[in-house]
């Protein structure tokens, strides 16, 4: 089963939207700009690093680009069985699950970013990543510091992020290293996120959430606060508010997803931070990422191949359904068969359409999950035409 994961603040980089400018999904950028009253295209294409790193800019830019990428994946007919997001990414996941309209999600994220940046100005904070200590050891190190410092992110085994006052973070560096930490690295943010320092932002966000039409998610959506899926819209209102002042339990979320049967983790959006965390946390997971249009073909190719866990499986072992791609036999204009729609059952040799004078025939039996080319589109040889799920 496939889960889509969505990154949070820190995955942004200057010019990250440039590869998507010519893609049909780029239209979402204009819609987001209208929803929040800001020039999101500028943030994605022209903003320098110092401007893009500001919380109010990083969050809305990462959210919008992640949904551009999601829209591009959905155009291929690929859908997840569940979603989860890291911090800010939780809002992206809720839009992906149908719990939030895109415009409302963009407005909420813009308000959240403004509120968190204001809270950071009100009370100075800092964050640092502790590498090489387990969760318990980092919690003990925080307790030993005479100051305000807490665990903010449980990211992966041996990677925990702490947050608090700058003075307490300085003291924690020495305590953590004395306890055996390999490194303690500063995180370039403007506040102590996911700690009590964000209480002013939480109050401001609650008002925005109260005016939002939040619906029950259509897919299992896993929360940062408790690493569990929640289907009740009312619960999500409380979870989103609580998330600002409580740690992101990402390692626990990955373990819960694994226990719930998810074996393929697709990071959707800029960067590969979550891809690396999944590799470190979930043994045997198939880990993929999509951040640029070139990654779309790689995603389809990877999903068309059986997972590594299926290789050498002994007789009688249950395997999840696998996917196959029907590709174009030549270059030319594609014309689909009249009955080529998702849900169509096909057998080897069935004609799915034509490319010029060439018939597009399936080499597999299965159910059409998505049509990857449109009527009249000029395709190249070996370009995917349809995605099948076989059994």
**Active-site amino acid positions:** 87, 194
Q: Which residues in 53-79 are b (16+ Cβ under 10 Å) and which e?
A: bbbbbbbbbbbbbbbbbbbbbeebbbe
Residue holding tokens 């998610």?
217
Residue 119 near residue 197, CB atoms below 8 Å: yes
Q: Which residues contact 74 (CB under 8 A, 6 or more apart)?
A: none
Rounded distance between C-alpha atoms, residue 1 and residue 391, angstroms: 14
324 contacts 368 by C-beta, under 8 angstroms: no
DSSP 3-state assignment of 41?
Answer: helix
In the chain the first and final C-alpha atoms are separated, in Å, by 14
Provide the b/e sequence for 262-300 (b: ≥16 CB within 10 Å): bbbbbbbbbbbbbbbbbebbbeebbbbbbbbeebbeebb
The shares of helix, strand and coil residues in the chain, as percent rounded to the nearest 5, are 40, 20, 35
Task: Find out whether 106 and 64 touch, Cβ atoms under 8 Å.
Answer: yes
- Residue appearing with tokens 């305000």: 148
Strand 322-327 with 264-268, pairing: unpaired
Least Cα distance to 321 among 387, 254, 275, 253 occurs for 387
For 38, the 3-state DSSP assignment is: coil
Crossing angle between the packed helical segments 102-122 and 89-96, to the nearest 10 degrees: 170
Integer Cα distance of 253 and 228 in angstroms: 7
Burial letters for 156-181: b for 16+ Cβ neighbours within 10 Å, e otherwise? bebbbbbbbbbebbebbbebbbeeeb
CB-CB neighbours of 28 under 10 Å: 22
- Residue carrying structure tokens 């996911």: 194
């Amino acid at each position: 089963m496939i889960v889509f994961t969505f990154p949070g603040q820190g995955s942004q980089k200057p010019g990250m939207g440039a590869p998507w400018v010519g893609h049909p999904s780029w239209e979402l950028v204009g819609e987001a700009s209208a929803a929040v009253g800001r020039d999101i295209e500028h943030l994605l294409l022209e903003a320098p690093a110092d401007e893009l790193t500001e919380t109010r800019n990083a969050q809305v830019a990462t959210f919008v680009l992640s949904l551009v990428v999601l829209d591009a994946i959905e155009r291929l007919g690929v859908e997840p069985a569940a979603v989860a997001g890291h911090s800010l990414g939780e809002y992206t996941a809720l839009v992906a699950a149908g719990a939030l309209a895109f415009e409302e999600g963009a407005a909420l994220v813009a308000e959240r970013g403004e509120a968190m940046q204001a809270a950071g100005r009100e009370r100075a904070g800092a964050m640092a990543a502790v590498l090489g200590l387990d969760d318990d050891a980092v919690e003990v190190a925080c307790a030993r510091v005479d100051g305000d410092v807490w665990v903010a992110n449980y990211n992966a085994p041996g990677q925990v992020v702490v947050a608090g006052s700058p003075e307490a973070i300085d003291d924690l560096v020495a305590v953590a290293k004395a306890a055996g930490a390999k490194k303690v690295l500063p995180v370039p943010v403007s506040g102590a996120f996911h700690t009590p320092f964000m209480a002013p932002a939480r109050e401001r966000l609650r008002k925005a959430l109260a005016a939002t039409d939040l619906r029950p998610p259509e897919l299992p959506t896993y929360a940062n606060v408790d690493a569990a899926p929640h289907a009740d819209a009312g619960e999500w209102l409380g979870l989103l508010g609580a998330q600002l002042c409580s740690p992101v339990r990402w390692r626990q979320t990955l373990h819960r997803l694994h226990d719930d049967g998810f074996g393929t983790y697709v990071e959707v959006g800029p960067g590969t931070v979550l891809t690396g965390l999944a590799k470190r946390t979930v043994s045997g997971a198939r880990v993929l990422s999509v951040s640029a249009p070139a990654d779309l073909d790689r995603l389809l190719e990877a999903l068309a191949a059986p997972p590594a866990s299926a290789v050498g499986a002994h007789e009688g072992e249950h395997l999840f359904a696998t996917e196959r791609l029907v590709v174009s036999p030549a270059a030319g204009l594609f014309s689909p068969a009249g009955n080529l729609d998702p849900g169509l059952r096909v057998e080897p040799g069935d004609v799915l359409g034509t490319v010029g004078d060439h018939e597009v025939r399936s080499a597999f039996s299965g159910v059409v999950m998505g049509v990857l080319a449109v009527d009249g589109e000029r395709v190249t040889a070996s370009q995917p035409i349809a995605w099948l799920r076989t059994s």
